[in-house]
Amino acid sequence: MRKKRVLILSEGFGSGHTQAGYALAAGMKKMNPNIQAKVIELGSFLNPTVAPWIISAYRLTIHTNPGLVGLLYRKQHDKPLSKLTTMALHRIFYHHTAEVIEHLRPDLIVSTHPIPTNIISRLKAAGLNVPLYTVITDYDAHASWINKEVDRFLVSTDTVRQLLLDRGVYPENVKVTGIPVHPDFWSSEDKTCVRNALNIKNMPTVLVMGGGWGLVSNHRLVQQLVRWKDQVQLVFCCGSNQKLLDKLKNDPRFAHENIVLLGHTREISKWMDASDLLITKPGGMTCTEALAKGLPMLFCESLPGQEEMNREYFVKRGYGEALQNENVLEEWLRKLAHGEQLRLEQGSQPSRFDSPAKDSYSPSRCATEVAKTLEYPQQREGMINVHGIPVGI
């Protein structure tokens, strides 16, 4: 019996979408070795020359004009992609998508980004007979995610589910599963043991992350943190931003035994286990990984739009606090340095991390839901019919 095939489609606009795809693939494989999942950033796969330029332009816009990004997000928040936009995207950048599907012959397609969701939906409307699931990777639901051809939406919270229902999605087509994280985040290691394994000191530790593009660039924040380097161990993760990493390595302020500088690493799970506090941008994936680990969060540099919504979700529920001024960080570092229990007090909301239940989030739920679908599909062999799709429609 051939393995069940899952095609997971994403895009490179921010690392979280693709990261969610790989997390889902690893989770399903852990659940059922007979599931074969392939993750593709569809635009980059189909357009390897043009796509990097587009992604670089997007990154530059975020860095230099985040207000514009937020304005566009809010302006289009309740407007799904038009048929004209989807057709233009398909014909210019995605006209070979049907051929990719015909070659891979998946039993299920999962999208973790709005663009593949709409491209595959257009193919389904033209006759593609493959189920399409969409995993919404934030704690908000922009209307661009929504298309009537999607068979099931997998969402982070009941609030996001209600947003979809308010926009006309049928209740039976929306499942609250939480955002998928890699199986490494499904459990936690002993803090002392993991610190020994990472060859760092067994002392109060703060992990500083700036998202998958390594946007650790808040000089005032960094300066404030460095003042505590004798009392608190500081781990700066620069992600893929090699230029920033080199800059920090050449800065004498960071030449200290209690400061660790990281570039891209596949061991974020271990670094979270080793840490007592996370300072981060409120990206959906990073926040969900910290949620799974029970790691309190302080939020800085929220991008207007979905990151603001993510921050609002975690702050309101007592999972994190916004760094609104220097006094907030100073108080957290003081408590950490003096061995006081870290608690979040947001109005009447104490830290949820005092409870081992960590609210209702289960890090394996999304992978379980998709794997279960493949075990009991509505149709078996022969459900794929891509040959009837006119290539290039």
The predicted structure's pLDDT at residue 160:
95
Half-sphere exposure of residue 288: CA atoms within 13 angstroms, side-chain side: 33
Is the pLDDT confidence value at 93 over 80?
Answer: no
Say if residue 348's pLDDT is above 60: no
Instruction: Evaluate whether 145 touches 161 at the Cβ level (below 8 Å).
Output: no
Distances (CA, A) of 281 to 29, 88, 349: 30, 33, 21
**pLDDT at 381 (0 to 100):** 38
When pLDDT is cut at 50, 70 and 90, the band that residue 378 belongs to is: low
Rounded Cα–Cα distance for residues 222 and 131 (Å): 47
**Which range has the top average pLDDT, 106-110, 244-248, 324-328, 376-380?**
106-110
Asked whether residue 215 carries a pLDDT value surpassing 70, the answer given is: no
Q: Nearest to residue 129, comparing CAs of 354, 388, 392, 319? A: 388
The stretch 282-290 carries a mean pLDDT of 93
pLDDT tier at 89, thresholds 50, 70, 90 = confident
On average, the pLDDT of the chain sits at 85
Q: State residue 115's pLDDT score.
A: 92
Contacts of 205 (CB under 8 A, 6+ apart): 195, 232, 233, 234, 235, 274, 275, 276, 277
Q: What is the pLDDT of residue 390?
A: 44
In this prediction, residue 276 has a pLDDT band, given cuts at 50, 70 and 90, of very high
pTM to 2 decimal places: 0.86
> Mean pLDDT across the stretch 373-389?
53
What is the Cα–Cα distance from 322 to 314, expressed in whole angstroms?
Answer: 10
Q: What is the pLDDT of residues 36-67, one digit of tens each?
A: 999 999 888 888 777 677 767 766 666 666 66
Kindly report, residue by residue over 167-198, the tens digit of the pLDDT.
999 999 999 999 999 999 999 999 999 999 99
User: Residue 54: what pLDDT?
Assistant: 72
Residue 389: pLDDT band with limits 50, 70, 90: very low
Q: Residue 11 above 50 pLDDT?
A: yes
pLDDT at 386 over 80: no
The mean per-residue pLDDT over the stretch 221-227 comes to: 90
d(Cα 62, Cα 140) in Å, to the nearest integer? 19
Categorize the per-residue pLDDT at 392 as very low, low, confident or very high, splitting at 50, 70 and 90. Answer: very low
pLDDT at 307: 87
**Angle ∠(78,168,149) on CA atoms, nearest 5:** 95
Q: Is the pLDDT of residue 68 over 50?
A: yes
